[in-house]
Amino acid sequence: MKPNPWFPLRRVVIGLAVLLAAAAAAPSSRQAPAREDADRFRAKVDAISQHAEKPAAAALVTRITEAELNAYLAYDAKAHLPAGLAEPRIIVLPSLDLSGTATVDLDAVRQQRQSRGWLDPLNYLSGTLAVAVVGRLDATNGQARFSLRSAKVGGVPVPKVVVQELVTYYSKTEANPRGMSLDDPYPLPARIREIDIRLGEAFVKQ
């Protein structure tokens, strides 16, 4: 089977959605995602992946809009999201921090991990709850790092450890059973050197 040329970047997009897992409702003033935006996103990711397979030559800069990314998450990412994570949405705030939205099944997370005693905050969270996360993504020199600013579960502020537990659960694989760490940088795929985030858009530089 021929490999999907945009799978590596798709993993980064879904990984970012996991890092920003939340379930706050999107502002009513924002329009529903359009299928055409999702198609444009996929075409742009195809171009990014194909450029990475060519010998390094001229730089390529690809503009991806917030609408395109969220349309992809709404239409095409559903089949690839881990169980218990739904309706992810990413918004660029005026500060250029990122705000993410999704629904999270906290029961599934808690059942798959060992309790750390009565001080463990996840012991007091259950059901599918709203989790809101805001943070800054810095992506330069082929590496990306996410800096958490704040997080809420069901509208109540929670410590960083709760977000890390969610990230660990949703990002762990057989090759990486510990999952992703909020504090660790991770390499960008497809020879991407930088992601320049601006209000309502981002420029992917290879």
Per residue, the 3-state secondary structure of the chain, as one string, reads CCCCCCHHHHHHHHHHHHHCCCCCCCCCCCCCCCHHHHHHHHHHHHHHHHHHCCCCCCCCEEEEEHHHHHHHHHHCCHHHCCCCEEEEEEEECCCCCEEEEEEEEHHHHHHCCCCCCCCCHHHHCCCEEEEEEEEEEEEECCEEEEEEEEEEECCEECCHHHHHHHHHHHHCCCCCCCCCCCCCCEECCCCCCEEEEECCEEEEEC
Predicted TM-score (pTM) of this structure = 0.78
Structure confidence at residue 119 (pLDDT): 57
Structure confidence at residue 121 (pLDDT): 65
Structure confidence at residue 141 (pLDDT): 95
Structure confidence at residue 115 (pLDDT): 55
Instruction: List the chain residues with pLDDT less than 50.
Output: 1-12, 14, 18-29
Structure confidence at residue 30 (pLDDT): 54
Structure confidence at residue 112 (pLDDT): 64
Structure confidence at residue 149 (pLDDT): 95
